[in-house]
Amino acid sequence: MSLEGLVEILIPMDPQERITVHYSEPFDPELVLKGKSRTEAVRLIPLLYSVCGTAHAAAAVRALGIEGSVGKELVREALVMMERAREHVFRMALGWPALIQREPDQSIGKLALPMLPDFSKAMDPDGAAFLAGSDAPPDYSKARQVNADMRRLVEDGIFSEPLEAWLQRDRASVLEDWVEREASIAARVIGCLVQQNIAGLADVPAVYLCDTDLADAWSGYEGEGAQVPETSVMERRLTNHLLQGCVRPALVDRYLVRLVDLAETIRELEEMLKEPSNWSIGEREQIAGTGTANTARGRLTHLAKIAGDTIDGYRIVSPTRWNFAENGIAAGCLNALPPLPAGGRLLIANWIVGAIDPCVRHEIRGV
């Protein structure tokens, strides 16, 4: 067993044969958390998942019922949003270039790296955002400054124009004018999909987790042949005009939606920080023992079972668990490809996997 987890995608040489997806779960957190108190668990979880520790901590406090004031909930939500924006930037600057045989843009990665810790220091000066009780007030002015730095970084390095200008473009303008200028890696990636005539591939009907009852979704997961719902930023951005409703999102939509989510997350964070006192928690699905957080890859779910004062059971369901299930969206997209020689399927499989983006290591192999 690998502690890190692994997604294996096996592509048969025979184009008529089905491509299979196998996801091995990473380390089981219950092994560490069982028998611990809720407070201990909230301290330990960010240590286990420190790369995306904010989203895990946010999901954990909700699963463990560690309520916070509205002000504290705002801090938690803002931290999750900044982590999500930074993760998008990492993927676009460091991961996407390989799809078009370019070197990663490490200068963007280097600038993005300190933004989450800087933002955390401003929003959560005493590091108590995910613990019970009161804490030091956020420095909103500093937090706004970090978010403004993030905006500048993505406008210069990812969109090569102001976010509003990009978001106001229509689909044709993005897919023609914006990509033709080739002003950034992101534009070149979308342009490459268009030029290679693969932008419209892998357009399978989508079933989203947000439209599915969690218990039904889970039984679908375990039922043979049933389609496992997907969770991704598409769920939150379906109404964006660039995505055309996306009943059958194609390969290009899965890349576009990342850009939409990055731009909108930064703008939403600006709004939130402009008048923090106007912010409200809003409607949130409340199921005892269940907590969620919206990450760059989709909805992260924590499930906790408490017995007395201690944890009796703990499960983490990552977006990868849904999306790279045997009958998940990745398998659906891969098997919707037209019959191509194995080499062609391998090439496009890279694009599909890059678009859905597992949070663990993956291997794509011809067999």
Partner 1 sequence: MCLAIPARVTALEDGDMAVVALEGIKKRISVALLEDVAVDDFVLVHVGYALHKVSPEEAERTLAMMAEAGVLQEELAEIAEGQA
- Single-letter amino acid code for the residue at 238: L
106: contact with partner 1 by CB under 8 A: yes
Binding-site size, partner 1 (CB under 8 A): 31
Q: Which of residues 290-349 bind partner 1 (CB under 8 A)?
A: 316, 318, 320
The one-letter amino acid at 352: I
Residues 31-50 binding partner 1 (CB under 8 A) are: 31-32, 44, 47-50
DSSP labels for 220-265?
A: HHHSTTPPPPB-STHHHHTTSGGGTT-SS--HHHHHHHHHHHHHHH
Cα dist from 23 to 13, 32, 221, 354, whole Å: 21, 22, 13, 16
Sign (positive or negative) of CA dihedral 227, 232, 237, 242:
negative
Instruction: Confirm or reject binding of residue 97 to partner 1 (CB under 8 A).
Output: no
Nearer to partner 1 by Cβ, of 117 and 245: the residue is 117
Contacts of 242 (CB under 8 A, 6+ apart): 167, 169, 170, 171, 174, 256, 260
Q: Which is nearer to partner 1, 342 or 360 (CB)?
A: 360
- Minimum distance of partner 1 from residue 295's CB (angstroms): 9
Determine the interface stretch with partner 1 among 12-20, 28-36, 126-134, 277-285 (rule: CB under 8 A). 28-36
Residue in 4, 17, 177, 216 binding partner 1, rule: CB under 8 A: 4
Q: Closest approach of Cβ 91 to partner 1, in Å?
A: 7
Residue type, 109: G
Q: Which is nearer to partner 1, 5 or 220 (by Cβ)?
A: 5
Strand-pair category, 20-24 with 290-295? unpaired
DSSP 56-106: HHHHHHHHTT----HHHHHHHHHHHHHHHHHHHHHIIIIIGGGGGT----H
| CA angle, 325 then 330 then 332, to 5° | 95
- Least separation, in Å, of the C-beta of 26 and partner 1? 5
Residue type, 49: Y
Smallest distance from partner 1 to CB 130, Å: 16
Backbone angles phi, psi at 200, to 5 degrees: -90, 0
> Which of 95, 276, 289, 344 touches partner 1 (CB under 8 A)?
95
Q: Which of 11, 52, 99, 356 binds partner 1 (CB under 8 A)?
A: 52
Q: Per rule CB under 8 A, is residue 206 in the interface with partner 1?
A: no
* Stretch touching partner 1 by CB under 8 A, among 26-34, 68-76, 238-246, 267-275: 26-34
Answer yes or no whether residue 51 interacts with partner 1 by CB under 8 A. yes
**Contact residues: partner 1, CB under 8 A:** 2-5, 26-28, 31-32, 44, 47-53, 90-91, 94-95, 104, 106, 109-110, 113, 316, 318, 320, 359-360
